[in-house]
Structure 1
Amino acid sequence: MKVLRQFLIILMISLLGEILNRLLPFPVPASVYGLVLMLTALMTGLIRVPQVKEASVILIELMPVMFIPAAVGLMTAWDKLRPVVVPVIVITFVTTLFVMGVTGIVTEKVIEKTEKGAEE
């Protein structure tokens, strides 16, 4: 029953993200709205981590299964992808390195700020 309640909380946040997607004229996916809402709720204490932890762990464990349809879709569209596979791989590699670099820099800045705040 506890896990069901946790799933319902996550689903309600997702539903609010869908509603925001329909109401706001921005090209932002509903899942992003839902993630921002969940982050805001967790940071403000509206939702506490124990209220969604077990359901979150289950969803994270199931996440690899969600990539199977995408992989099958790529396999069925291989004829169309073959001419652009090298540029796609290069772009994926370069953007992954860029994201990793920016994430590392931002993480270092956050850690520095956190350590400065703890010293004061």
Structure 2
Amino acid sequence: MIAALTLLLVFQLVGEVVARALGLPVPGPVIGMALLFAALLLRGGPGENLRQTAGTLLQHLSLLFIPAGAGIMLYGDLIAAEWLPLAAALVGSTLLAIIVTALVLDALVKRRKAGEDALP
């Protein structure tokens, strides 16, 4: 478990270094996750140790919401004062995600149908 956690943290660190060195507007952990994904693709998937550690982390995922909840409690007044822009951003980003998902799904269905029609 320690080796798998170390591996996850090393990829996060590498992502942070890449993000800061290149001045990218993407968070380091996201870059690290993409690099981990690429490494796992090249390796043929995660080992059993990494799989078990990831499963354990996912079982306790709800603990990661505690800092967000504390932030909401701490900045409740600011959130109440800025509720309209926050609500607009929430609704807008949700609608945008739904629209993009629908467009991608439509394109994939058309592509699959075109591939099936091309078969003899």
TM (norm. structure 2) is: 0.75
Match of 1:48?
45
Match of 2:55?
57
Percentage identity across paired residues of the two chains: 24
Matches within 5 A, 1:77-96: 77-96=75-94
Stretch of structure 1 that moved more, 108-117 or 17-26: 108-117
Match of 2:23?
25
Q: CA RMSD in A?
A: 2.6
Match of 2:103?
105
Structure with the greater alpha carbon radius of gyration: 2
Match of 1:9?
7
Stretch of structure 1 that moved more, 81-90 or 47-56: 47-56
Structure 1 stretches lacking a partner, 5+ long: none
Q: Structure 1: how far apart are the matches of 2:88 and 2:25?
A: 26
Q: Structure 1: how far apart are the matches of 2:14 and 2:32?
A: 7
CA 1:108 to 1:95, structure 2 compared with 1: closer, same or farther past 3 Å?
same
Q: CA-to-partner distance for each residue in 1:38-66, whole Å, 9 max, x for gaps?
A: 121122x2362235211112222222211
Count the aligned residue pairs. 116
User: What letter matches 1:68 in structure 2?
Assistant: I
Is the counterpart of residue 39 in structure 1 residue 37 in structure 2? yes
Q: Which protein has greater RCO, CA pairs closer than 8 Å, 6+ apart?
A: 1
Q: Structure 2: how far apart are the matches of 1:97 and 1:59?
A: 30
Q: Structure 2: how far apart are the matches of 1:50 and 1:81?
A: 43
Structure 2 stretches lacking a partner, 5+ long: none
CA 1:11 to 1:111, structure 2 compared with 1: closer, same or farther past 3 Å?
farther
Q: Structure 2: how far apart are the matches of 1:58 and 1:113?
A: 38
